Amino acid sequence: MSVMDNEAPLHGSHRDNHTHRDVNGGWLRPAVFGAMDGLVSNLALMTGVAGGAVDRQTIVITGLAGLAAGAFSMAAGEYTSVASQRELVQAELDVERRELRKFPKDEMAELADLYVSRGVDPDLAREVAAQLSKDPEQALEIHAREELGVDPDDLPSPTVAAVSSFGSFALGALLPVLPYLLGATVLWPAVLVALLGLFACGALVSRVTARTWWYSGLRQLLLGGTAAALTYGLGTLFGATV
């Protein structure tokens, strides 16, 4: 008979709803950051150029060049960053694996001491540590979680991060260019589409955070709008003096 057999059954709503969203995946952060960065940076770039009173063709070329350069840069940066982080974790896991192989008793005692520090009875802590240390791979996983704060089986993928970042940046950067590609000859349609995109992205992000949709949307709209206004002003200033 298990311990749970002697306890009250789990509450239905708790059992059915006690699930958590994936907070360790390698796609969410680069995807969100890429879309926001694509929108803000390309909108700011285009408004800065437009402030210099250039023609429509120049603005379109600037927007497309900003899209391509930013997307490739983001993808390369994310791949390098995540790959470096993964390699560092793998190196630390190799160190822990060697320690478990060379000094198993010391590692087991270390694990027991950790449980004792968290309030577990010393005898029970030693028993639990001994049971968990019987399987070397399980012992490695537990030590990695407790000492490094990582799950060896759930490390972020550099490829996923790079692809997510590239696609989301390109999509975000395309929005301010799109009105011009469809025939617009003035700046305001591009600004309007980009600001609506910023609000929508912010609202969408709120689905995986604790913020309300309107707060997250308005925050992104305000930040992006401010960046666009400042660069437009600088473009106007430089256009008048160059």
Indicate whether 122 pLDDT > 80: yes
Q: The tokens 């473009």 sit on which residue?
A: 235
Q: How confident is the model at residue 25 (pLDDT cuts 50, 70, 90)?
A: very low
- 3 within some domain: no
Residue 11 domain flag: no
Q: Is residue 7 part of a domain?
A: no
Average pLDDT, the chain: 85
Mean pLDDT (whole number) for 72-89: 93
Domain extent at residue 211: 29-235
pLDDT of the residue at 190: 94
Asked, for residue 16, whether it belongs to a domain, the answer is no
pLDDT at 58: 94
Q: Per the domain annotation, does 186 fall within a domain? A: yes
Domain count, the chain: 1
Q: What is the separation of C-alpha 54 from the centre of its chain, rounded to a whole number of angstroms?
A: 36
Q: Chain centroid to CA 159: how far?
A: 14
The answer, yes or no, to whether residue 4 has pLDDT greater than 90, is no
pLDDT at 87 (0 to 100): 95
For residue 9, being part of any structural domain is answered with no
The one-letter amino acid at 72 = F
Q: What pTM does this model have?
A: 0.76
